[in-house]
Amino acid sequence: MLAYILRRVLQLIPVFFGSTLLIYAMVFLMPGDPILALFGDKPPSEALLATVRAQYHLDQPFLVQYYYYMLGIFQGDMGTTFSGQSVNAVLERTLPVTGRLAVMAIGIEFLLSIIVGTISALRKGKASDHVNLVVSLIFLSMPIFVMCFIAQYVFAIQLGWFRPTVGGQNDWGDLWLPAIVLGLSLYATSMRLMRGSVLDTLNQDWVRTAYSKGLPGYRVLPVHVLRNSLIPVITNSATNFGVLLVGATVTEYIFNIPGVGNTLFAATLKHEGPTIVSFVTVFVILYVLVNLVVDLLYGLLDPRIRYA
Amino acid sequence: MPESAKPQRRIEHYVAPVIEEQPPTDAVRVSGKPSNLWRDAWYDLRRRPLFWISMAIVAVILLMAVWPTLFTHTSPTDQCLLANQNGGPEPGHPLGFTFLGCDIYARIVWGARTSLSVGLLSTIIGSGIGLVMGALAGYYGGWLDSLLSRIGDVFFSIPYILAAVVVMTVFAQYRNVLTMSLAIGGFAWASTARVVRAEILRVRQAEFVTASTALGLGRFKILTSHVLPNALAPLLVLATLAMAGGIVAEATLTFLGVGMGGDVMSWGRDISDAQRSLRIAPMSLIYPSIALTITVLAFIMLGELVRDAMDPRARATR
C-alpha cells in the first residue's frame, strides 16, 4: 500500500514538470508584450522597459525563464498578476468559492443519482425506467452553457426563485442555481452507473442468499445491495469533484461567479501569463491528487482490490 | 440476441486421426458463416430502432452541412433587416428572427457545417494521436510505454477546455477550422490513448499473435496487420462519442469568444449572441441550442448503441 502510494507520487513528478512546461510554453507563445501591458496606455522609456524586463527575467531564453518560475513555485511564490496582486492572494480568494460550488454540485449529483438510479434499477424495463434513461440522455447531450441559460431564464428570470447571477455575494446559499445546473450536468453518467451497478448486485449470490434467509426487502436493499453498488458512483463522483475544481469555467462565467475558472478565463483573455501558468499549475496538482485519492478509495471501499 | 439465432456449435472431441481428411480440431463451427465481432454487432444494431433514428438525424445534419441551400433559400447573413429584430415566425421564416433581424432557421442550417467539420476533424486528430500513442505504448511496452503514458498523463491533467482557450488565444490570428480542431483534438487524445493501450495489451496476449511471431513475421508487421485490426472496436465507439464532444467543444469555445472570428456561422456563436437579449427574446437562444443538443444526442446514442452491440456481455444481459 505504502509502496503503491510512493510509486504514484513519484510518477506525479514528471507529469507535474511536463504539464507546467507545456502550459508555460503556450503562454510564452502568446502574442503581446506583458511588460508593455503592465504600463497601460502610457509608453515607458526604453531604459525602464529593459530594467523591468530584466527584473522579471524576460530577457532570458525560454528554459531559463521556466527555471526561475519553477524556483518561485517551490518557494511558494506564484508570481503577480498585472494588477499587482500576488497570485497566491487571488487563489486564496477564488478557490474557496469554486470549492463551495463543487461540494454542492457533487452533493446534488451524488444523492440524486443514487436515489433515481436505484429506483430505476428496481423497476427495470418499466415505463418509469425508460423515462429515466431518456431524461438522462438529454442531460448527457445538452452542453453545459445551454443548461445554464435555460436554468437562468426559467428559474431566475421567469420564476424569480434565484438571482440570475452570483457576483460578490457567493456564500453557500447564493450558489444553489449554478450548483444544481452543474449537478444535473454530471447526474446522467452517475445515475446510469448506479443503475447498472444495482442491477449487477441484484443478481449476486449473496443477495439471493439474503432473500432466501427470509430477510425483508427493506433490510436486503440498504445493507446487501446498496452498500455494494455504491463503489463506482463514489469513485466517479470523486473524479468529478476534481474536474469541477478545475473545470467549471463556463458555469462560473455565465453566472458571474468569482471562482478559479472564471478568473483564469478572464486572465487568458487579458494574456496574463503568470496568472494562467500558476492557476494551471495548481489545477494540475489538485487534479492529480484527487485522482490519486480516487484510486486509493477503490481499495478502501472494496477490500478485494489490492495494490501492487 | 435470441438464443435460437446463434449459429449452431458442434463440439468434436479429438480422439485419434482415424480419417485423414477430418481436421483434428476442437469446437468448430460447421454451419453458417464464421462469426465475427463486426458482423454480430451489425446484426444486433440493424434491428434497433434507436440506431436508425440516430443515423437519420446524423444524415440530415450531414446533408445540411454539405448542401445548405437544399433546406433554405434565405441567406443567413445578407437578408437581415433590423425591422425584423427578434421577430416571431412568419411565412418562409418558421423560427422567427434574431436580434439583428436574421432568419434563425437559415442560421441554424448554415451553422451545421462549422459544427460538423470541427467535430469530424478534431475527432480524426484526437483519435489519430490517441491510436498511435496508445498502440506504440501498449505494444512495445518498456521505456517507450512509460514515456508515452507520462506524456498522456500530462495532457490528461490539463483541463482541456482551458487548454483549448489558451491555444486559441495563442493562435488568435489564425482561427479557422484547422486550428480549432487542433486545439480540441490535440488535448482530447489522452483518454483514447489509454483505452487503445489497454486493448492492445489484451490483444497482444492472443494466440494468433504468438502464432504470427512463430511464423517469423516482423514485430511492426504483426502490430499493423494482426494486433491493431483486433483492437479497433473500442476506438470506433470512442470516436463516435468524441464527435459529440468535439461539437460541444466547438460551440463552447465559440460561445466563450475564442472561436472562429469573422462571419463564420456557428451554433455556439448564435447562442452567445442571443444571450444578450435572453430576457426579451429567449427563442433565438433556444432554437440553436435545440439543434446543438439533438446533434450531440444523435452521436451519443450512436456511440452507446455501437458499444452495446460490440460488447457481447452487454448484449446478453440486455
Q: How far apart are CA B127 and CA B133, in angstroms?
A: 10
Could you read off the pLDDT of B39-75 as tens digits, one per residue? 878 888 888 888 899 999 999 999 888 887 777 777 7
* B288 neighbors B271 (Cβ within 8 angstroms): yes
Q: State how far residue B308 is from chain A, nearest Cα, in angstroms.
A: 13
CB contact under 8 A, B293 and A11: no
Q: Which residue of B has its CA nearest to A135?
A: B297
ipTM field? 0.83
What pLDDT sits at residue B3?
Answer: 46
Measured between CB atoms, which of A29, A149, A243 is closest to B275? A149
What pLDDT sits at residue B294?
Answer: 92
Q: Which residue of B has its CA nearest to A277?
A: B166
Residue A245 has pLDDT above 50, yes or no: yes
Q: State how far residue A15 is from chain B, nearest Cα, in angstroms.
A: 5
Q: How confident is the model at residue A66 (pLDDT cuts 50, 70, 90)?
A: confident
**Residue numbers in A near B108 (CB within 8 A):** none
CB contact under 8 A, B166 and A26: yes
- Cβ-based contacts under 8 A for chains A and B: 124
CB contact under 8 A, B162 and A22: no
| pLDDT by 10s per residue, chain B, length 318 | 444 455 556 666 666 655 555 555 555 555 556 667 778 788 888 888 888 999 999 999 998 888 877 777 777 777 676 666 766 777 766 777 777 767 778 888 888 888 899 999 999 999 999 999 999 998 888 899 888 988 888 888 887 788 888 888 888 777 888 888 998 998 889 888 988 998 888 888 888 888 888 888 888 888 888 888 888 888 888 899 899 999 999 888 888 888 887 677 888 888 888 887 777 778 888 888 899 999 999 999 898 888 888 776 655 444
What pLDDT sits at residue B133?
Answer: 93
Q: State how far residue B32 is from chain A, nearest Cα, in angstroms.
A: 33
Q: Which residue of A has its CA nearest to B288?
A: A146
Q: Which residue of A has its CA nearest to B173?
A: A31
Q: How far apart are CA A87 and CA A72, in angstroms?
A: 12
Work out the mean pLDDT of chain A and round it to a whole number: 83
**Residue numbers in B near A253 (CB within 8 A):** 256
**Residue numbers in A near B172 (CB within 8 A):** 31
Q: Report the predicted TM-score, pTM, of the whole model to 2 decimal places.
A: 0.83
Among A7, A27, A98, A146, the strongest candidate for a mutation testing the B interface, having the largest count of B CBs within 10 A, is A146
CB contact under 8 A, A280 and B296: no
Could you read off the pLDDT of A182-211 as tens digits, one per residue? 999 899 889 999 998 998 888 888 888 988
Measured between CB atoms, which of A18, A30, A247 is closest to B151? A18
Interface of A with B in 75-94 (CB under 8 A): none
What pLDDT sits at residue A120?
Answer: 92
What mean pLDDT comes out for the span A16-40? 78
What pLDDT sits at residue B317?
Answer: 46
* Residues above pLDDT 90, as percent of chain B: 14
Q: How far apart are CA A86 and CA A275, in angstroms?
A: 9
Within an 8 Å CB–CB cutoff, is residue A134 touching chain B? no
Q: Identify residues of B whose CB sits under 8 angstroms from chain A CBs.
A: 150-151, 153-155, 157-159, 161-163, 165-167, 169-170, 172-173, 244, 248, 251-252, 255-258, 271, 275, 278-279, 282, 285-286, 289, 292-294, 296-297, 300-301, 317
CB contact under 8 A, A145 and B255: yes
What pLDDT sits at residue A57?
Answer: 72
What mean pLDDT comes out for the span A228-241? 86
B13 or A19: whose pLDDT is higher? Answer: A19
Residue A154 has pLDDT above 80, yes or no: yes
Q: How far apart are CA A75 and CA A92, in angstroms?
A: 17
Within an 8 Å CB–CB cutoff, is residue A245 touching chain B? no
What pLDDT sits at residue A169?
Answer: 74
